Amino acid sequence: MQSIRLVSILAFLCFGAAVPAQEEGSEPCAPCTLRVMSFNIEWGGEHVRFANVIEAIMAARADVVGVQEPEGNLERLANALGWEFNRRNHVISRFPLVDPPGGDGRFLFVEITPGRVVALANVHLPSDPYGPHWLREGRTPAEVIALERSLRLPWITPVLDVLAPIHARGVPVFLVGDFNAPSHEDWTEATVGKVPHRTRAFAWPVSRAVTAAGFRDAWRHAYPDPVAQPGFTWWAARPLISNYNPSDPADQERIDFVWFAGPATVESAALVGEAGGRDVSVTVSPWPSDHRAVVSEFRVEPAPMPVLVTSDQRVYRVGDAVRVTWEAPDAAVSVHLLHEADGKTTDRRLATGAPSGRIEVSTAGFAAGAYRLALVDADGRTLSRNDFWLLDPAASPALRVDGKTFAPGEPLPVSWRNAPGNRLDWLAVFDAEAPPVATDYLAYAYVRAESAGTLEFGARTVQGEWPLPPGRYVLRLLEDDGFERLAESAPFEVTGPGAAPAAGDR
């Protein structure tokens, strides 16, 4: 599950700017070596052994990792490695991460040498219905193509739209993730009959769309023969857990990818997984996830960072240090922190004169609320701006449905506040009698990593069962695509005869 809100890339992507000065004692690298990893750690990485997730990343010698299914454990994972993290993008890195204004959680920059960056996007496309299963069940190719175009393409297309102008400007761009769809470069005539249940070649729409957007598949670039090196990433033979253990060899597929575009050259590619797994060259025992990870090493030519001002996260607590990064080559600028309360705007000038920099701002004594960073030139023009939330340390997430009774199909006016700002914090409708640990729900929507906001929860914004059948319900705010309950609304009723049926699985 993920939000599919469209976003356009803004004019701040002006990569033709001069290279900013290097920090004292540092050396530029052009090209540089960078190891990029994609890792679905499965339900927070805790069902086997969290320490083995850490060990896998270390064994892979990764520099930057797109993590899927962190379920609130992203900061914990980064802290264990001594790395940086970004909640909105589910990325951890040994290099500084820069979350650009207007990126909207679609991508971020990795500053691999001072003032020079690559771009990285991390995705997790919907899993069900699963295309290969439909083919095995006898669905026609046309039905499977229609499924992929309606289910998964709408999730990847906005990301590709954002990334295209970036690599077109000569920036190395990486697209990683769990795509929950195979590659057309694997399902070729040569593999028919040589891979279980692969009875035909198939032009999978997602991989075709990524290729059409100018990206290349690092694994298939390193290993062109899909028969000799199928590179299966799901499923992995990890220890058994209580309620989910894929084991059918016919299900094994390569659905986790590292794609690349722009000035980058593949040096190597490897699967990270269980000992004895096919094509696995980096092993950890016991393996902690149902997915194998994939890591690729590149030689890259990093590009100048665009003009921007940003914070490293979007949500903080009062007392936290906010790291502010700005870049404006060849310009005299000042960096301002603005806060509006009681009709008055407080303007704190954080820096003046330096065309680029990175500082930490203590928020001790600040008021909770919404804040804005502004990068202003000598003529008073705002070159870039960025918003973040500052929460009271004692504040708990809160959720409200404005109303107690609704007609079938009537949207629910919903508001929330004090959410932690994880990429996949989400809202879901449960039967009012469902226990706090329940995982059965009817309809859901994401809160777009926003700490506070409103949503008309209805046919245009939700997925799952809609309209709600008559019954008594609650809405829950849940953490980062998991089922940790952050807040719950008061009960509300959908009127009409009958009772609500049991909710289905996600």
Give the pair of three-digit tokens for residue 342. Answer: 């009681």
pLDDT at 506 over 60: no
Other CB atoms within a 10 A radius of the CB of residue 478 amount to 24
pLDDT at 315 over 60: yes
> Could you report the per-residue pLDDT of 199-235, keeping only the tens digit for each?
999 999 999 999 999 999 999 999 999 999 999 999 9
If 0-12 CB within 10 Å is exposed, 13-18 middle and 19+ buried, where does residue 333 land? buried
pLDDT of residue 432: 97
- Cβ-proximal residues to 245 (8 Å cutoff; 6+ apart), any chain: none
Q: Residue 124 — φ and ψ, nearest 5°?
A: -140, 100
pLDDT of residue 462: 95
Name the band, by pLDDT with cuts 50, 70 and 90, for residue 11: very low
> Could you report the per-residue pLDDT of 345-359, keeping only the tens digit for each?
999 999 998 899 999
Across residues 175-189, what is the average pLDDT? Answer: 98
Domain 398-494, second-level architecture = Sandwich (2.60)
Name the band, by pLDDT with cuts 50, 70 and 90, for residue 102: confident
pLDDT of residue 25: 38
pLDDT of residue 424: 95
pLDDT at 2 over 50: no
Name the band, by pLDDT with cuts 50, 70 and 90, for residue 26: very low
Q: What is the DSSP letter of 319?
A: T
- Cβ-proximal residues to 460 (8 Å cutoff; 6+ apart), any chain: 411
pTM for this entry: 0.90
> Could you report the per-residue pLDDT of 256-269, keeping only the tens digit for each?
999 999 999 999 99
Calculate what percentage of the chain has a pLDDT beyond 70.
92
Per the CB < 8 A criterion, the answer to whether 82 and 56 are in contact is no
> Could you report the per-residue pLDDT of 39-61, keeping only the tens digit for each?
999 999 999 999 999 999 999 99
pLDDT of residue 197: 83
pLDDT at 505 over 80: no
pLDDT of residue 497: 64
Q: What is the CATH number of domain 308-391?
A: 2.60.40.1930
pLDDT at 365 over 50: yes
> Could you report the per-residue pLDDT of 412-447, keeping only the tens digit for each?
999 999 999 999 999 999 999 999 999 999 999 999
Whose CA is closest to 283, among 223, 236, 234?
236
* Long-range contacts, 380-383 (Cβ 8 Å, 24+): 383/12, 383/307, 383/309, 383/328, 383/331, 383/333
Distance CA 291, CA 271 (A): 10
Name the band, by pLDDT with cuts 50, 70 and 90, for residue 496: confident
**What DSSP line would sit under 28-94, residue for residue?**
--SSEEEEEEEEE-SGGG-SS-HHHHHHHHHHTT-SEEEEE--TT-HHHHHHHHT-EEETTTTEEES
Give the pair of three-digit tokens for residue 182. Answer: 């195979």
Give the pair of three-digit tokens for residue 7. Answer: 């976003």
Give the pair of three-digit tokens for residue 474. Answer: 């609650």
Residue ranges covered by each domain of the chain: 32-304, 308-391, 398-494
Per the CB < 8 A criterion, the answer to whether 450 and 418 are in contact is no
Q: What is the CATH number of domain 32-304?
A: 3.60.10.10
Q: Residue 50 — φ and ψ, nearest 5°?
A: -60, -35
Q: Mean pLDDT for the chain? A: 91
Q: Does the fold of domain 398-494 match that of domain 308-391?
A: yes
pLDDT of residue 27: 56
Across residues 328-339, what is the average pLDDT? Answer: 92
Across residues 443-461, what is the average pLDDT? Answer: 95
Per the CB < 8 A criterion, the answer to whether 409 and 459 are in contact is yes
If 0-12 CB within 10 Å is exposed, 13-18 middle and 19+ buried, where does residue 398 land? middle
pLDDT at 336 over 90: yes
pLDDT at 503 over 50: no
Across residues 495-503, what is the average pLDDT? Answer: 56
pLDDT at 62 over 80: yes
pLDDT of residue 383: 96
pLDDT at 15 over 90: no
pLDDT at 12 over 70: no
pLDDT of residue 4: 28
pLDDT of residue 31: 76
pLDDT of residue 76: 97
Angle, vertex CA 122, rays to CA 116 and CA 123, nearest 5? 155
pLDDT of residue 405: 97
pLDDT of residue 19: 29
